[in-house]
């Protein structure tokens, strides 16, 4: 069900004294309820999945090109150096299921080595995903390409168009770090339930390192990550009819050593109030909305996490500095 309810309250921005227009909510009831619950929690928060509207997806592409953002280029170097070994372990002709596929570039770069018979890119950003899939069909006409629009924070249910045999899940980057360790195990158990006896998981994981490197990666000098974080407010306005003014907020990111995670927040520049059709909240100057976590692991702690989810690791590859790892995992038990 799509809601088309117009918020009846307007917000006056204290810094500019300009009035924001009433907004219409375009999210479904479940989306609106989730956003509202997060904003009304004692520590206001949102899910990082709301970063990824079309603009957010393009901004993340730009982040991956930044010199400070090491994960993309470090992982790409691991694939370039060890991709043949990974392919030998997996074998050709599988169904490659790309979780959080984005622009599909990472998986496509491995097609010549992995030789999948079917490629299933999965992402929450529908328009962005369909455009990427259409471009891949032109480049790889011999591969069946089946895009799926799916929220990975929900249980993983694959349609009948995805064969049960030879399912190879692909979850690159550091996206697994967006889950708490507990939720990561839950997510990976859902993947394990869908792998089958002859499938596997190829997954990227960001490793613990110098906090200064981590801080710079999530707060770059030219402000692309800040724009990515602030764009979330524009997306919430679209989905939930909130009346956020992004100019009233600033990007904050730092490494939380006690939790072994990067945290991203949006901090109110001034005292303000936000309204939407089913709620409102006042924010004091300096109060924050927690928008993302990115947990960092050691090789040992992540292997243990995979085991708890029902996987055993049969291959691990890292860069020379041990900043990043790619692991291949298979079913640990029936």
Is 0.95 surpassed by the pTM of this model?
no
The answer to whether 156 touches 309, Cβ cutoff 8 Å, is: no
Q: Which domain holds residue 111?
A: 70-209+298-331
Task: Identify whether 148 is part of a domain.
Answer: yes
Could you tell me if residue 227 is left (phi over 0), alpha (psi between -120 and 50 degrees) or otherwise beta? alpha
CA distance 313 to 332: 8
Which residues have CB under 8 Å from 36's CB, separation 6+? 240, 276, 278, 279
Task: Identify whether 226 is part of a domain.
Answer: no
Q: Is 43 helix (H, G, I), strand (E, B) or coil?
A: coil
Task: Identify whether 38 is part of a domain.
Answer: no
pLDDT of residue 177: 96
Task: Identify whether 56 is part of a domain.
Answer: no
Closest CA to 90 of 171, 164, 174, 170: 170
CA distance 27 to 49: 13
The answer to whether 94 touches 119, Cβ cutoff 8 Å, is: no
* Torsion angle defined by CA atoms of residues 89, 95, 100 and 104, in that order, rounded to the nearest 10 degrees: 90
Task: Identify whether 34 is part of a domain.
Answer: no
Which residues have CB under 8 Å from 313's CB, separation 6+? 303, 306, 327, 328, 329
pLDDT of residue 196: 86
Per-residue pLDDT of the chain (334 residues; tens, 9 = 90+): 333 322 322 333 333 333 344 478 888 899 999 999 999 999 999 999 999 999 999 999 999 999 999 999 999 999 999 999 999 999 999 999 999 998 999 999 999 999 999 999 999 888 989 999 999 999 999 999 999 999 988 888 999 999 999 999 999 999 999 999 999 999 999 999 999 889 999 999 999 999 999 999 999 999 999 999 999 999 999 999 999 999 999 999 999 999 999 999 999 999 999 999 889 999 999 999 999 999 999 999 999 999 999 999 999 999 999 999 999 999 987 6
Task: Identify whether 9 is part of a domain.
Answer: no
pLDDT of residue 111: 97
CA distance 205 to 14: 42
Structurally, how many domains does the chain consist of?
1
User: Which string of b and e fits 157-189 if b means at least 16 CB within 10 Å?
Assistant: ebeeeeeeebbbbbbbbbbbbbbebeebbebbb
pLDDT of residue 328: 98
Q: What is the CATH number of the domain that holds 193?
A: 3.40.50.150
Find the length of the chain. 334
Task: Identify whether 7 is part of a domain.
Answer: no
The answer to whether 252 touches 267, Cβ cutoff 8 Å, is: yes
Query: Other C-beta atoms within 10 Å of 281: how many?
Result: 17
Task: Identify whether 26 is part of a domain.
Answer: no
Q: Which DSSP symbol is given to 177?
A: G
pLDDT of residue 20: 46
CA distance 36 to 47: 11
The answer to whether 205 touches 297, Cβ cutoff 8 Å, is: yes
């Amino acid at each position: 069900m799509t809601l088309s309810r117009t918020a009846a309250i307007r917000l006056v921005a204290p810094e500019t004294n300009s009035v924001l227009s009433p907004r219409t909510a375009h999210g479904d009831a479940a989306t609106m309820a989730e956003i509202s619950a997060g904003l009304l929690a004692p520590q206001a928060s949102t899910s990082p999945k709301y970063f990824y509207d079309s603009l957010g997806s393009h901004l993340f592409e730009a982040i991956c090109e930044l010199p400070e953002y090491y994960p993309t280029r470090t992982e790409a170097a691991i694939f370039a150096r060890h991709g043949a070994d990974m392919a030998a372990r997996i074998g050709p002709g599988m169904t490659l299921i790309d979780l959080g596929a984005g622009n599909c570039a990472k998986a496509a770069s491995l097609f010549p080595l992995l030789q999948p018979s079917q490629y299933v890119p999965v992402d929450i950003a529908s328009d962005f995903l369909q455009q990427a899939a259409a471009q891949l069909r032109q480049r790889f006409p011999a591969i069946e390409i089946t895009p799926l629009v799916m929220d990975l924070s929900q249980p993983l249910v694959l349609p009948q168009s995805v064969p049960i045999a030879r399912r190879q899940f692909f979850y690159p980057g550091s996206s697994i770090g967006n889950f708490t360790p507990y939720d990561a195990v839950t997510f990976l158990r859902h993947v394990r339930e869908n792998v089958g006896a002859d499938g596997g998981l190829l997954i990227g994981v960001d490793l613990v390192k110098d906090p200064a490197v981590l801080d710079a990666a999530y707060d770059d000098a030219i402000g692309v990550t800040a724009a990515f974080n602030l764009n979330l407010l524009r997306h919430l306005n679209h989905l939930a009819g909130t009346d956020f003014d992004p100019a009233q907020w600033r990007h904050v990111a730092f490494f939380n050593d006690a939790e072994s995670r990067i945290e991203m927040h949006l901090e109110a520049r001034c005292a303000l109030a936000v309204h939407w059709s089913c709620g409102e909240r006042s924010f004091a100057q300096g109060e924050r909305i927690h928008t993302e976590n990115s947990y960092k692991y050691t090789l040992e702690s992540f292997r243990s996490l995979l085991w708890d989810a029902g996987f055993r690791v049969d291959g691990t590859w890292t860069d020379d500095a041990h900043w990043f790892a790619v692991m291949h995992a298979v079913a640990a038990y029936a």
